Amino acid sequence: MTDQTPDTVSVLNSDTPIMAFAQLQLAAPLARAVAEMGYESMTPIQAQAIPVVLQGRDVMGAAQTGTGKTAAFALPLMQRMLKHENASTSPARHPVRALVLLPTRELADQVADNIKLYGKYTNLRSAVVFGGMDMKPQTLELKKGVEVLVATPGRLLDHIEAKNCVLNQVEYVVLDEADRMLDIGFLPDLQRILSFLPKQRITLLFSATFSPEIKRLANSYLQDPVLVEVARSNATASTVEQHFYSVEGDDKRHALHQILKDRGLKQAFVFVNSKLGCARLARSLEHEGLKTTALHGDKSQDERLKALEAFKSGEVDLLVATDVAARGLDIKDVPAVFNFDIPFHAEDYVHRIGRTGRAGAAGLAVTFVSKSDARLVADVERLLKTKIELEPVVYDEDLPDIRKQGHINDGRRLYQQEPGDTRREEFAARVPRAPRNDYRREPVKSQDPFFSKPYEPPVLAPGTAPSWEAAAAHPGARTVSSNIKAAKRKVAALFKSV
């Protein structure tokens, strides 16, 4: 498809009047479900995108994370699919008509839960498939027939190859968090999946950031799209208070304790860059008295879901996570986000701090910056188009210094002598023990006289040459040790004798 310039819906600002869901004139089952979920006024992305999708246009939606993109595409698609609604039990009457693709398991599960709530009073069926779990339960659900399929690209291809689902009647495709799918290498999978779909369809592409790669993807698969942009691209939410503290690596845990105390924070996300660092930091914080759980890609799906549920229910204070949790997870009332490590990709900074300050609530984003982070800080400055000012951390005297506790799980122990503790000096003043040489034992001599005798050459009969001379005289002959007895009978062999 050739390059195209999408139509643009004007950027919303704080002076734009907010529409109510009642103005959409949704079908009664959808309106009832929306009212029960407490939806009253639409967010900017919903107010702009829903009318466009209801008209049957392709959409490129750019909005900050946490602004309600799920309802922006799910509600209008379900409204349009109500014409296919039926109560038949035949799977053939429930083909896949809407396909929603997402980058992570957690996000797919969350979107699927919302879609089930939106359609609870309709006969539209929905299902979710993602990796890390057994395919059999997913296969059984797909065989029953579903109209809305939420999936991650890898597991969807597994089901397509196993012929568990057919996508030749898909009318609507949603690519949510498309930039993240490209970042983690899903472009070939996306191209394969889109090749199975009908050419005539409505395609919606939503993301918090729009890179040149995303725009090229849109030019390839969207037809005359409408660009819905409710905020400056790559912008952060205005309700999030951002602070950057100059802290070296050894002081970061100490600074984390100090800020948690100063702000009176009960819960927070703590983001790191590696899976190994995530596990180690979680163990360290747990050792220091904070209820902590870890969330990273090496954990099984069951472990990841349990970690999220524990955090949502308030059983743990801190959720230490890699960027697997930075996209789209909607956990209400998370007051703060800590960037223990600055992300390698500046766009991930926007997604990380988007876990707080959701739906207009206030939030706090704290980033620890060390001397080696100069390039990463510069990338974030270019993305945000603002100069970052580093602040110092002021520590309380009564707060225990984490550095005095030694490194956790680093393979060695660190003993710190407290002021006034003279045990080490007293021990050194004691009478030293005798040198180790006084305790050295003499080697035990062998009791067998054979091993003490000098070498004695063998006694040969007169005229008999040593064995090595006989072997040299007949180099081709095969010699057999005298210790090996000759066979008494012939045995069939599998080789020819020469």
State both tokens at 196: 């199975």
pLDDT tens across 379-427, in order?
999 888 888 889 888 887 655 555 555 444 433 334 445 566 565 555 4
pLDDT of residue 183: 73
Residue 475 has pLDDT above 70, yes or no: no
Helix 105-118 / helix 28-36 crossing angle, nearest 10 deg? 120
Tokens of residue 322, six digits: 């890699």
347-361, 373-387, 467-481, range with the lowest pLDDT: 467-481
pLDDT-wise least confident of 81-90, 172-181, 250-259, 414-423: 414-423
Q: Tell me the β-bridge partners of 270.
A: 320, 338
pLDDT of residue 1: 44
Please determine, for residue 35, whether its predicted confidence score (pLDDT) is greater than 60.
Answer: yes
- pLDDT digit string (tens) for 290-321? 999 998 878 877 888 888 888 888 889 899 98
Distance from C-alpha of 271 to C-alpha of 325, rounded to nearest angstrom: 9
pLDDT confidence of 136, banded at 50, 70, 90?
A: very high
Which pair of tokens denotes residue 75?
Answer: 């509600």
Question: Is pLDDT above 90 for 172?
Answer: yes
Q: What pLDDT, on a 0 to 100 scale, did the predictor assign at position 250?
A: 77
Residue 13: its pLDDT value, please? Answer: 40
Identify the pLDDT of residue 497. Answer: 57
The answer to whether 205 touches 132, Cβ cutoff 8 Å, is no
- 223: which residues sit within 8 A by CB, 6+ positions away? 1, 58, 203
CA angle 240/113/108 to nearest 5° reads 70
CA–CA distance, 435 with 452 (Å, rounded to integer): 33
Lay out the sheet containing 336-339: strands in order across.
Answer: 292-295, 318-321, 268-271, 336-339, 363-369, 240-246, 390-391
Does domain 7-229 bear CATH number 3.40.50.300? Answer: yes
Locate the domains of the chain by residue range.
Answer: 7-229, 240-405
CATH fold, domain 240-405, is: Rossmann fold (3.40.50)
Task: Say what the pLDDT of residue 407 is.
Answer: 44
What pLDDT score was predicted for residue 69? 84
Mean pLDDT calculated for residue range 166-189? 87
- The pLDDT-based confidence of 330 (bands split at 50, 70, 90) is low
Per mean pLDDT, which of 1-15, 81-95, 233-247, 476-490 is the most reliable? 81-95
pLDDT at 98: 95
- Quick one: what percent of the chain has pLDDT higher than 70? 75
Among residues of the chain, what percentage have pLDDT more than 90?
33
Band (pLDDT 50/70/90 cuts) for residue 9 is very low
Strand order in the sheet with 126-129: 7-9, 226-229, 59-62, 202-207, 172-176, 98-101, 148-151, 126-129
> What pLDDT, on a 0 to 100 scale, did the predictor assign at position 64?
62
Mean pLDDT on 354-366:
78
Average pLDDT, the chain: 80
Residue 439 confidence (pLDDT) = 46
Residue 323 pLDDT = 81
Residue 11 has pLDDT above 60, yes or no: no
Same fold, 7-229 and 240-405: yes
Quick one: average pLDDT of 314-335? 78
**Cβ proximity of 322 and 275 under 8 Å:** yes
Range of weakest confidence among 12-21, 178-187, 334-343, 450-459: 12-21
Of 375, 363, 312, the residue nearest 336 (C-alpha): 363
Lowest-confidence segment of 39-48, 355-364, 477-486 by average pLDDT: 477-486
Nearest to residue 70, comparing CAs of 26, 33, 102, 93? 102
Pairwise CA distance, residues 46 & 73, whole Å:
8
What integer pLDDT is reported at residue 182 of this predicted model? Answer: 80
* Per-residue pLDDT at 24: 82
Q: Residue 375 corresponds to which tokens in the numbers above?
A: 């390039």
Which of 60-74, 167-181, 207-221, 444-458 is predicted with the least confidence, judged by mean pLDDT?
Answer: 444-458
